[in-house]
Structure 1
Amino acid sequence: METKLPYYMVYPMPFIYDDERLDRRDYEYMRSLYPDTAKRVLPYVEEECDRCEGPNSMIYDEYPDRLQLRLMSGRIYDRVKAEERPFDEHDEESGTKGVEGQQLQRFCRRDWLRDLIDVMLYQELYKRRSENRRMRQKFY
């Protein structure tokens, strides 16, 4: 005599979609914790990724070209610099003084914004590549 399996064991697919929903919610929460500067830069990063996204885009290559990634980052940096108010206003108002302030200024590079844009761009590309991989995955 055959025993009947419960519904959740026969059709396990809904649990996969639930994981995606939980991942998306967690990702959105972490993005809400970004500092103000990162929140201001994020729309430019997303817009550039949207512009470069396509079925045969280089962002989906196994090893994306470093030069192309630097060009994407440069376009984002130029747009942010042209359209946003200066990011250094807060630093100029606080005024770092003393030996510790001088050491901090030597430690901090002037192109910190470019580094931030690079990190945010690579993180956004990672997310899009993993979503693309998941969409192409076949369930048997």
Structure 2
Amino acid sequence: MDEKLPYYMAYPMPLLYDDERQNQRDYEYMKSVYPGTAKRLIPYIEEECDRLEYTGSVMYDEYPDRLQLLLLCRRIYNRAKEDETKKDEAKEGEETGEWLQNLIQVMTYQELCQRRRENRSMRRKYY
């Protein structure tokens, strides 16, 4: 009973990267429970975001330009629509409408936000 615990045992240090790993796992799980339409859009969105992941990119601007973001979403929409029409030529004339463009915008902005957060946390570790 008279033994004193070392400082590192009395005040355990939390795992440094455990929070990030847990957040990433939660994010991946939430993406896995998206509805079918949203799941089909994920590869297009991730591909466009991968193209923007470089130093000085619009993605990492403090206030990204709204027009650039809309053009990004339009590119995603056009690619997804083109690929879907190639796959489902029997569904000609089916109107996807504005709701699909809105869904793409929301999912793209969420993905950009996630990548910006990851980028900020990586910069903090090394500098």
- TM-score, L = length of structure 2: 0.81
Residue 118 of structure 1 is matched in structure 2 by 105
Q: Which residue of 2 aligns with 1:71?
A: 71
Pairing of 1:68-107 with structure 2 (within 5 A)? 68-85=68-85
1:16 shift after superposition: 2.3
CA distance in 1, matches of 2:18, 2:5: 28
Q: Distance in 2 between matches of 1:134 and 1:8?
A: 28
Q: Which amino acid aligns with 2:107?
A: M
Unaligned runs of 5+ in 1: 93-108
How many residues align structurally? 117
1:16 match: secondary structure: coil
Shift of residue 113, structure 1, vs aligned partner = 0.6
CA–CA separation in structure 2 for the residues paired with 1:40 and 1:29: 16
Counterpart in the other structure of 1:134: 121
Secondary structure at the counterpart of residue 15 of structure 1: coil
List runs of 5+ in structure 2 lacking aligned partners: none
Deviant stretches of 4+, over 6 Å: none
CA distance in 2 between counterparts of 1:125 and 1:62 reads 12
Deviation, 1:110, is: 2.5
2: CA distance between counterparts of 1:68 and 1:24?
27
Cα-Cα RMSD:
2.5
What's 2:59 paired with? 59
Cα distance 1:25–1:55, how it changes in 2: closer, same or farther (>3 A)?
same
Deviation at 1:43, TM superposition (A): 0.3
* Structure with larger RCO (C-alpha < 8 A, sep 6+): 1
Distance 2:29 2:97 in 1: 30
What is the TM-score normalised by the length of structure 1?
Answer: 0.74
Matched, 1:47 2:47: yes
Partner deviation per Cα, 1:82-128 (whole Å, 9 max, x = no partner):
00146xx6xx7xxxxxxxxxxxxxxxx93111000000000000000
In 1: Cα distance, 2:97 partner to 2:50 partner: 28
1:102 is matched with none
